Structure 1
Amino acid sequence: MDVSLDDAISLPKIKNLDRATFSRMGYCEDDETSTRVHKRVHQREANNDNDDEDLPQTALDEPSSSVMPSSSATNMGIDARLDDMMEKINENAKHLHLLQDTIEDRFVEVDHAITYHLDDIDQHIQCILEHQESLRGHIVQLFSKRGH
């Protein structure tokens, strides 16, 4: 379904845009519905074509677009904020890489320690098994001597 600007178009309130921005986009606040409605809808309902008459007084009190900062100045401000964010992200990435390296180093240390302890346990088990075989041999000899 295609909708033109001449049709009744209303926008829900968006908190991060100010009234001047909505006014420049051609929208004003409808007091009855508390939504933003395109000014052409108000003109059609009032049967007049004067854009300024149909705008709420608060929209007329806002600075005009000629007073507002230019888009290049706005873009420079946005670029500066993005650069600042990227700098923080890069700094955090460095810290994360250091943490990752530290974790990997600790993992290697723990792995070596566990391997050492497991090898030590294996050696003790081998010694126990060898002593067990030796004891079996002695027990067999003792029983065989008694049997004579």
Structure 2
Amino acid sequence: MTKKNINVTIEVELLKEAKEQIPNISSFFESCLRNYLNGTFPVSDANKILQQIGQLQADLYLLNQNNDVQQKIKDKENLEKDKAWRFLWNDYNTKLILDDRLMKKAIEVLGMDNDNLEEILDWVLLTDVKVDTNYWEDVLKKYNKHKDEL
């Protein structure tokens, strides 16, 4: 098969980058032309794939946005729990008497019943375990671990 020299105009930077990545540019162009003319160059498939990629990128963006929203909701709920717990704990720790108003709010926000919450308050007050009383999750986790060990 005979070959013919042709002139092709390509941006200088593109040609420079192509030479770094493609060892034989002439062979590469020849192969691309052959596949295109034989119908084996899947241009329509490439367009479908690009559309799928675009849709998947949009879906991923929406999922990430949803995850961000869910995380923000969870963070807000945790802040509310921490606040209700701290108010109750700080008051109980100084007075050793339960404030009914604070207890009612803590029961509502923490989803605990009166007896369990009183038990946790007493445990925190009397335990030797280091508990960060600023964070409800830390208190509950350490209390449950202590309870499981009994």
TM-score range, shorter chain: 0.3 to 0.5
Larger Rg: 1
Instruction: Give the strand-richer structure, 1 or 2.
Output: 1
User: Under a length normalisation based on structure 2, what TM-score does the superposition of the two structures give?
Assistant: 0.39
Higher helix proportion:
2
